[in-house]
Chain A
Amino acid sequence: MAGSNRPDQTGDEKPGAAAGSPNREQDLVRRSRELDAALAARKPARDETESKPATGGMAGFGQALKLSSEFIAGIAVGAGLGWLIDRVAGTSPWGLIIFLLLGFAAGVLNVLRSVGMVAEGGPGKARNGAGRPD
């Protein structure tokens, strides 16, 4: 779902400077941050149930449209790029052949990404969570 690790969003609720000792203030900020984190941890689950009604009879259809559009878009863009390169550079048919294959790979990547099967390797970028939402 949309971002299992959300950035913290507590920037806008700092208590006024006049409030109590700085220690207390820090404590308050820390606690509100913890609360936000706890709430954030809960949220994806709720989102999941929210979009649950889609998983009726239409869900398969929606899924099929989604995945096929991802896949076909990759191939179409690859073929289009290859064709353009051929036209510009006069390398027909090699551009089309190579870019069609690359487009195929990109389409597969799109599909895998949209079902969340591609681990977005590296520690810094689990940013999209499991993958794109449907």
Chain B
Amino acid sequence: MANDPIHQFQISKLIPIEIGGLDFSFTNSSLFMVATVATAGAFLYLTTSSRGLVPSRLQSVSEMSYEFVANMLRDAAGTHGMKFFPLVFSLFMFVLVANLLGMFPYFFTVTSHIIVTFALSMLVMGTVVIYGFWKHGLKFLGLFVPEGVPAILVPLVVLIEVISFLSRPISLSVRLFANMLAGHITLKVFAGFVVSLGSLGALGIGGAILPLLMTIALTGLEFLVSFLQAYVFAVLTCMYLNDALHPSH
């Protein structure tokens, strides 16, 4: 159905691959992930290859994205956090480029599938937990014990803090996924109104102007959301990494 707002999220197998009964097919989602990585990589590589002392326009875009993420990381996690810069920068660029690629008509939005965003956030949480334990040992668990809590309440508070910690990857992934999903569905629904109203004759075409304007506005908004969600994802990654670096409770 051309008018089905969910149809755009359907996964289709492009190259069916099955290994040991498991489905490793190359899907349209995989295709766009490859496209995302290729686009981000090629953009950064090509724009910085001339290495002009006075940067060209595109080179300064790459440099700005570097500076942007580097400052974000330094603000949230201090200079020690810079060892995680490759991780945070890759995540930021991946989410940003995937969101922006999704804005092309007929393109698939990788980040509108929760399993993708959940995998990304589990990568972050895995890094936090492994690095935290590796660096601080059992002191990392101090993260869950706030100071100044009466001894009787400590078990309860620790349980709540642990649940709160475990809920981080879920809220991190759900936020990105829900924003992209909701945005794209809204866009599709309003664009669908234009078509169905337009087929009603002269009066309908007049009425179709309203949803058309709405669609234009929503498109702009979606670009903003694409950027904002990539930013939020990266900032929260930085803050969680900060917990791994300084479990200072």
Contacts and interface: CB of A to CB of B under 8 A. Distances in A.
Interface of A: 2-3, 6-7, 9, 11-12, 43, 51, 53-54, 56-58, 62, 65-66, 69-70, 72-74, 76-78, 81, 99, 102-103, 105-107, 109-110, 113, 120-122, 124-125, 127-128, 132-134
Contacts of B221: 56-58
Interface string B95-123: 00000000000000000000000000000
Q: What are the 5 closest A-B residue pairs judged by CB atoms, nearest first?
A: A7-B78, A73-B171, A106-B163, A73-B167, A73-B170
B78 A134 contact: no
Interface of B: 72, 74-76, 78-79, 146-148, 156, 159-161, 163-164, 166-168, 170-171, 174-175, 178-179, 182, 221, 224-225, 228, 231-232, 235-236, 238-239, 242, 246, 248-249
A107 B167 contact: yes
21 contacts: A2-B238, A3-B242, A65-B178, A65-B179, A69-B171, A73-B167, A77-B166, A77-B167, A78-B163, A99-B163, A102-B163, A106-B164, A109-B161, A109-B164, A113-B164, A120-B146, A122-B148, A124-B147, A125-B147, A128-B239, A128-B242
A49 B103 CA distance: 26
Contact of B146 (A58, A99, A121): A121
A6 B163 contact: no
Question: DSSP class of B's interface residues: helix, strand, loop or mixed?
Answer: helix
Contacts of A122: 146-148, 249
B99 to A, nearest CB: 14
A66 B244 CA distance: 23
A9 B167 contact: no
Nearest to B163: A106
A65 B249 contact: no
A91 B206 CA distance: 64
Given A3-B75, A58-B225, A78-B163, A121 B147 contact: yes
Given A7-B78, A70-B167, 4 more contacts: A69-B170, A77-B163, A121-B146, A121-B148
B79 A133 contact: no
B164 A58 contact: no
